[in-house]
Amino acid sequence: MRVLISGASVSGPLLAYWLNRYGFDVTVVERAPSLRKTGGHGVDLFSPAMEIMDRMGLAERVKAAETGTSSLVYRREGRRPVRVEMSRVFAAVSDRHVEIMRDDLSEILYEHTRHDVEYVFGDSIAEITGDGEVRFDSGSARRFDLVVGADGLHSNTRRLTFGQVREEWIGAYLAVASVPDHLGLDGEMDTTIRPGRMAGIYSSRTLPDARALFLFSTDEPLDYHYRDVDRQRELLREAFAGMGGNVPKLVDAAARAEVFYFDEISQLRMDTWSRGRVTLVGDAAYCPGPAVGGSTSLAVVGAYVLAGELAANGGDHERAYPAYEKEIFAYVQRSRAMALKGVRRVIPRTRSDVLALTTTLRLVNVLPLAVNRALARLGSGTMRPHDGVVVKDYRFTG
């Protein structure tokens, strides 16, 4: 049975690995001319995602490539900085956590699959017909039994299958730029926070440079075109005007950076993400909000479950797709709820919210881990959305 996957980042190669292991014939098409290795940002693998890495024999490689960011410094106006141990924060959220650059994770997954899976770079799906014929931008046409969109938040496969689906803006924006490591960061993320704005810089042991990260909230959506990078840099300058410390330097560096990413933080709220022979996985299907919803772990679990259900149902998509959606729907809903809370937590809007955040982080720093975990659990399921996920064992279906 032939499966086409669109997108070679995280969910695409991971799905390809499991489908190949279950005996499917897999092709991955990626729009970029080669594996992306230019920018990217840190992503989080929580407990269930790491369990899947264990089952793929990749946990050690993933761990060896972790960013190594061990502390987070919050700088506030006229107050002493707050320093937080990252491991304590993440331990409250999940029993297991690895932060890794997305491009490093993609590379590990690609290297692990490239001998068994066909990868086609520099192309994209142009049309999917009802009988399984797929036409590509390059002009070629091929026949596949199933098509899976793993092509991210602004998925092309989703647009071709469902038309224009609304991405719900959740009140904030984010920008990431590749910048020189002017602070000589050594396992530290350095941030400056004001009501409604957070600017920071972090690096990874695997990177020669650093990433400037900007998060800010607005009352109304901003007016810009997603291709107009000059306007996006201008909006960034406006949003962070008047902030002191190293923020002007970071904004200048981001304004000059060759690799610059700017987007609204939005959430997909589709109740189903399969139609006919086509389904979606990862951010393309259920992105809860980049940087605030733990979406990488969700993408990993989603891809694993989709492959498992296809194998368990002998490739019958009419049974496998609903089973896949049912299996992860609760996790998707918890992630959406966490993102809505997370966006307000990560970008506190008022002075008292900033104070509440820094006070909480100070407490996390000093309280015993067991107490932090208990408090996180009390903060409803949305504080620990990952650890309740049972990673089903599909190993015997392959």
Ligand X SMILES: Cc1cc2nc3c(=O)[nH]c(=O)nc-3n(C[C@H](O)[C@H](O)[C@H](O)COP(=O)(O)OP(=O)(O)OC[C@H]3O[C@@H](n4cnc5c(N)ncnc54)[C@H](O)[C@@H]3O)c2cc1C
Which of 3, 4, 7, 394 lies at the binding interface for ligand X (CB under 6 A)?
A: 7
Taking the complex as a whole, the smallest distance from the CB of residue 143 to ligand X amounts, in Å, to 18
Alpha helices in the chain (DSSP H): 11-21, 47-55, 59-64, 86-93, 102-113, 156-162, 229-240, 247-256, 283-286, 295-312, 317-346, 351-366, 369-378
Residue 193 contacts ligand X per CB under 6 A: no
**What residue has token string 């729009």?**
31
Whether residue 182 contacts residue 249, with contact meaning beta carbons closer than 8 Å, is answered with yes
Residue 176 contacts ligand X per CB under 6 A: yes
Residue 32 contacts ligand X per CB under 6 A: yes
Q: Based on CB atoms, which residue is closest to ligand X, 163 or 368?
A: 163
Q: Based on CB atoms, which residue is closest to ligand X, 123 or 367?
A: 123
Which of 74, 240, 261, 273 lies at the binding interface for ligand X (CB under 6 A)?
A: 261
Q: What are the strands of the beta sheet with 141-143, ordered from one edge?
A: 125-128, 133-136, 141-143
Q: Based on CB atoms, which residue is closest to ligand X, 8 or 199?
A: 8
Which of 20, 21, 44, 193 lies at the binding interface for ligand X (CB under 6 A)?
A: 44
For CA atoms 32, 36, 39, 45, the dihedral sign is positive
Residue 198 contacts ligand X per CB under 6 A: no
The token pair that represents 40 in the structure block: 């990217």
Please identify, among the stretches 40-48, 63-71, 187-195, 271-279, the one whose residues bind ligand X according to the rule CB under 6 A.
40-48
Cα three-residue angle 146-50-214, rounded to 5 degrees? 90
The token pair that represents 184 in the structure block: 């000589």
Counting residues that bind ligand X (by CB under 6 A) gives 34
Q: Based on CB atoms, which residue is closest to ligand X, 294 or 385?
A: 294
As a whole number of angstroms, the distance between CA 299 and CA 49 comes to: 9
Residue 345 contacts ligand X per CB under 6 A: no
Residue 31 contacts ligand X per CB under 6 A: yes
Taking the complex as a whole, the smallest distance from the CB of residue 108 to ligand X amounts, in Å, to 13
As a whole number of angstroms, the distance between CA 317 and CA 279 comes to: 9
Taking the complex as a whole, the smallest distance from the CB of residue 273 to ligand X amounts, in Å, to 12
Give the DSSP letter string of 119-146. Answer: EEES--EEEE-TTSEEEETTS-EEE-SE
As a whole number of angstroms, the distance between CA 132 and CA 145 comes to: 6
Please identify, among the stretches 2-10, 50-58, 82-90, 310-318, the one whose residues bind ligand X according to the rule CB under 6 A.
2-10
Binding site for ligand X (CB under 6 A): 6-12, 29-32, 36, 41-44, 102, 124, 150-152, 156, 174, 176, 261, 282-284, 290-291, 294-296, 299
